[in-house]
Homo-oligomer: A and B are copies of this chain.
Amino acid sequence: MNTEEALALLSALAHPTRLEAFRLLIRHEPGGLSTGELVEASGLSQSTFSTHLAVMVKAGLVIAEKRGRQQIQRANLDSLRGVMVFLAKDCCQGRTELYEPLLAELTCI
């Protein structure tokens, strides 16, 4: 996970529509949802949501897979893990005294 990839992931997450879609996809792991179901849930037009989806797929946040004539979308939990590791480690460059309390908090969820 380099800076560029992390920025793409952060940008992909930093929009209400996309964040909500991602959360919806997480709730539907590991089965995923079709693009049409996501469009319906978003309340936006099909074309508008398609561009949001393209942003997420390009960033690696979502993985698309063809199934029949539908496109099944799945949350990429590896990318979520990646961006969190980036924030904790790469961002806090070696300052363990800074991110260790952060991890402690996370493990106590």
Contacts and interface: CB of A to CB of B under 8 A. Distances in A.
A15 B7 CA distance: 7
Contacts of A105: 81, 85
Contact of A84 (B7, B11, B23, B102): B102
Majority DSSP secondary structure for residues of A touching B: helix
Interface size class of A (residues with CB under 8 A): 35 or more
Q: Give the copy number.
A: 2
A75 B22 CA distance: 28
Given A91-B26, A95-B29, A80 B102 contact: yes
Among A19, A29, A83, A95, find the residue whose CB has the most chain B CB atoms closer than 10 A: A19
Contact of A102 (B11, B23, B77, B99): B77
